[in-house]
Structure 1
Amino acid sequence: MFGKEAGIGNVGWFFVCNAAMLLITRPLTGLVYDRKGPAWVLFPGAFFTGAGLWLLSYAHSASSLAAAAAVFGAGFGSVQPALLAWTIDRTAPSRRGAANGTFYSANDLGIGTGSMLLGAFASLVGSYGAAYRWSVLLIVLLIVIYSVYLLLTRRKSAQLKAA
């Protein structure tokens, strides 16, 4: 529907480029996550996801759509597995199966519900492009929440070490 709105005939390239970037980034960012920790993957990944949505919102040709897909795919291909790995890392070994199932159920529910809400929101704001631009605020919210989490956990850790 966005392709029709933007006058782009073949939107299939979005999915090809997105999938290619998912395949490329996941193994690389997995190594970064293992060596440096989740913040080294989540912050850049969130930035690329938001930038991909922003680029997508202005796409008006197959090439700009493909570029947006590549940037979005690099971000989402980093964030989604990093969040899963972080979830598993913070879960007791006996509960990791349940945590994995809960993560994927919440992920699927979020994508399904988010798609329906984004469609309704696009009707309210007048275009899918505008809705994608507004969606960037959710990525900003992720960055803010994760930053606050890091500040609070580092402060608590420092207090425990001082005690």
Structure 2
Amino acid sequence: MKISQPKLVLNPYEWLPGFGESKVSFRSVGVDLVLDVEYEKDVFDADGNEELSIVRREMVFKNVHSFIKLPFPGSIIFNFLGDASEFGLGELTEFRESEFVRNSLDSWRLLTSLEPPRLRHFSIQFLAENIAFHVLAEEVFLSGELSVI
């Protein structure tokens, strides 16, 4: 499927360590998809001693229509049209032109006369875990840091 016109949504390397994520998992909560991104962070205790802590953030995709989890690199489902320098690997990107969106909305219209959802095509590659996600959702939110128990 062809994709183009990337738009940066967020760069997780603004909060991930340079070596990236430690673990990525996903789960659904109703019609939302949650990507749990765990990573290591240096913290200081009350005495000023440095400790390593595992924390996580959630990327919550709201009202998900569909998603694809792929190995990265190695998948050729999506064909990017344009200058590869327009978006960076490992960044959460929205593709404003997407056959994935167009095909999903065409299928929606065949099934119902209800107003179609306002789908957006989000994509992110997790470079340490070697996986990529393509998500059709209405919106995405990033949580603050959460402790890992």
User: Do they superpose with TM above 0.5?
Assistant: no
Bigger helix fraction: 1
Q: TM-score, normalised on structure 1?
A: 0.26
TM-score after normalising by structure 2: 0.28
